[in-house]
Amino acid sequence: MEKIQFKPLQSGTFCPFNRNYWEDLERKFNCQKLDLYHCIPNQDNNPYEVCVQPQWTERNYCPIFNKMAAGYIDHTSSDPQYGACPDTKYRSNMVYLYPGCLNKTLKR
């Protein structure tokens, strides 16, 4: 089994909330094969960049990177105090559209 490529973002750096910045990071990270770029928090709300296959995420839920489970994407409920939550089912690699799912240490 191929090792999953992931890395934590530098301290004080956050996942992007807009498509252009997301696409810039996506090009730099250079995911291969069927894996797509994700920038999502882990279970401790630390942002990670990772190349994994996208998963469908239900409305009002957010993808999180569970590095304890060998790089698996889990899901957790969204909290509107951090920004817009998903109101429809979406693919995990589109999480940048929902600030309520990212960088939960940053209250809006």
Residues 6+ apart with CB under 8 A from 70: 4
| DSSP at 21 | H
Q: Where are the beta strands (DSSP E) in 1-106?
A: 6-8, 36-41, 47-52, 56-57, 61-66, 72-77, 90-91
65, 51 in Cβ contact below 8 A? no
* Ordered per-residue pLDDT tens for the chain, 108 residues: 344 565 667 667 788 888 999 999 899 888 988 899 999 988 888 888 988 899 999 999 999 988 776 667 899 998 888 888 899 999 999 999 998 898 665 544
4, 71 in Cβ contact below 8 A? yes
pTM, 2 dp: 0.82
